[in-house]
């Protein structure tokens, strides 16, 4: 029998907040502007963020993320893959 329980180290909390992701895709021509992708968060944890986006992103892609916490009137700038 398979154990299907979530085995994450940190609990995920549902939270939908607007965000934008800036990245330079490896296939882009030198000097071309980075791609800007928009979406929203789905849930967050101490070590992760699940998002819903309007553009597909390659696995392992380096990116800069701006996430806006509307209720707190605050924004955070993150870097990740």
pLDDT averaged per 10 residues in sequence order, the chain, 81 residues: 66 93 74 86 92 88 92 91 86
End-to-end CA distance of the chain: 33
Say if CB 75 and CB 45 are below 8 A apart: no
Report the pLDDT value the prediction gives residue 15, as an integer from 0 to 100: 93
- Reading phi first (left if > 0) and then psi (alpha if -120 to 50, else beta), residue 12 is in beta
Report the pLDDT value the prediction gives residue 28, as an integer from 0 to 100: 58
Residue linked to tokens 């392992």: 60
**Considering the entire predicted model, what is its pTM?**
0.72
Q: Which tokens sit at 7?
A: 């085995």
Q: Which residues contact 60 (CB under 8 A, 6 or more apart)?
A: 81
């Amino acid at each position: 029998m398979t154990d299907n329980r979530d085995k994450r180290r940190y609990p995920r909390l549902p939270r939908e907040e607007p965000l934008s992701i800036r990245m330079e895709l490896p296939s882009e021509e030198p000097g071309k502007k980075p791609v800007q992708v928009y979406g929203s968060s789905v849930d967050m944890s101490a070590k992760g963020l699940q998002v819903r986006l309007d553009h597909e992103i390659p696995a392992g892609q380096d990116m800069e993320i701006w996430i806006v916490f509307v209720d707190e009137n605050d924004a955070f700038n993150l870097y990740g893959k």
